[in-house]
């Protein structure tokens, strides 16, 4: 099986993990529609929705950049209808858009709290829900959210309560959709890495060059997502998956090629949050 001819609707994806997943699918000849806000270059962040589309086409896929906001219901509706109109359907929804702020509760601004809830939780639910009627007609429909397993440990509940609520909310929404639409054959799973991934968020918010050097590349996330999206939807659903576990189940045991700095041993990599 491959993703050739499959249509993916993704939130975000201008850079980082989302773009890596899109490029992995594009290598098979998949169609990628992206709903993202980054229409013009950001002074501190590389890439726009248009440069992402160019890379997708160069990798062998079809691209449909849709400038919009996953917080806006009209933008979501337009994205779903445009994707269906352009490619004839939707096979996969990837909830990639996410806002991160690791501030402690007393330091977290109300607007940033609302933003995390709106993008991470509401965006995941609303985009997935809008696509469900079309996913029902797909041969092997999947919803995949980039969010962690639910871990009620005080270590994570109390570390950054606002962000934890938002990421766990993504997971709860996804698991709820998995249960609700299981009879329709729509898979809904989450995916999260054991180590930090070398992205702009890690560079700017989680520790700069030191943590970047002790991270894995987005390719490991992309390869695991690819493996998930090929699974039979009726059988492989309702799971909070870990990137490395997915790859190991498919026979991959050597992750050294994914080190952001070649030669970095696994023992020296920085563990991601939410996992004990």
With a CB cutoff of 8 Å and minimum separation 6, the contacts of 1 are 230
- Calculate mean pLDDT across residues 207-211: 78
* Per-residue confidence band for 206, with pLDDT thresholds at 50, 70 and 90: low
Cα-trace Rg, the chain: 17
Q: Are 168 and 148 within 8 A, CB to CB?
A: yes
* Per-residue confidence band for 209, with pLDDT thresholds at 50, 70 and 90: confident
Percentage of the chain modeled with pLDDT above 90: 90
Per-residue pLDDT, 205 = 67
Rounded to the nearest 5°, which phi and psi values hold at 159?
Answer: -70, -45
- Calculate mean pLDDT across residues 98-102: 95
Distance CA 266, CA 254 (A): 10
- Calculate mean pLDDT across residues 232-243: 98
HEC string for 247-258: HHHCCCCCCHHH
Q: Are 58 and 90 within 8 A, CB to CB?
A: no
Residue 203 confidence (pLDDT) above 90 = no
Residue 199 confidence (pLDDT) above 90 = no
Residue of 113, 163, 221, 258 with catalytic role: 163
Among the ranges given (76-85, 167-176, 223-232, 266-275), the one the predictor scored with the smallest mean pLDDT? 266-275
Nearest partner of 221 among 239, 251, 247, judged by Cα = 247
- Calculate mean pLDDT across residues 242-252: 98
pTM: 0.96
Distance CA 162, CA 108 (A): 8
Among the ranges given (24-33, 34-43, 134-143), the one the predictor scored with the smallest mean pLDDT? 34-43
Residue 57 confidence (pLDDT) above 90 = yes
- Calculate mean pLDDT across residues 224-240: 98
Per-residue pLDDT, 211 = 85
163 is catalytic: yes
pLDDT tens digits for 121-151?
Answer: 999 999 999 999 999 999 999 999 999 999 9
With a CB cutoff of 8 Å and minimum separation 6, the contacts of 115 are 99
Nearest partner of 75 among 124, 46, 35, 44, judged by Cα = 35
Domains of the chain: 7-268 (3.40.50.720)
């Amino acid at each position: 099986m491959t993703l050739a001819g499959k249509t993916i609707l993704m939130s975000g994806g201008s850079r980082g993990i989302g773009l890596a997943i899109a490029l992995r699918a594009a290598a098979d000849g998949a169609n990628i529609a992206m709903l993202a806000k980054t229409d013009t270059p950001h002074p501190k962040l590389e890439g726009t929705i248009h440069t992402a589309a160019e890379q997708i086409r160069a990798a062998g896929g079809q691209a449909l950049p849709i400038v919009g906001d996953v917080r806006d219901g009209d933008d979501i509706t337009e994205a779903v209808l445009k994707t269906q109109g352009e490619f004839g359907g939707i096979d996969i929804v990837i909830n990639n858009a996410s806002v991160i702020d690791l501030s402690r509760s007393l330091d977290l601004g109300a607007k940033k709290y609302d933003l995390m809830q709106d993008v991470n939780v509401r965006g995941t639910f609303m985009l997935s829900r809008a696509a469900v009627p079309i996913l029902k007609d797909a041969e092997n429909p999947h919803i995949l959210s980039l969010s962690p397993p639910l871990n009620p440990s005080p270590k994570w509940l109390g570390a950054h309560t606002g962000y934890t609520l938002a990421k766990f909310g993504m997971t709860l929404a996804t698991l709820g959709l998995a249960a609700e639409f299981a009879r329709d054959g729509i898979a809904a799973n989450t995916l999260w890495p054991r180590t930090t991934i070398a992205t702009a968020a890690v560079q700017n918010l989680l520790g700069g060059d030191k943590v970047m050097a002790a991270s894995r590349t987005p390719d490991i996330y992309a390869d695991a997502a690819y493996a998930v999206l090929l699974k039979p939807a009726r059988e492989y659903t309702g799971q909070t998956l870990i990137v490395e576990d997915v790859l190991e189940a498919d026979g991959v045991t050597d992750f050294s090629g994914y080190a952001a700095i070649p030669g970095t041993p696994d023992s020296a990599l920085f563990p991601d949050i939410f996992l004990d």
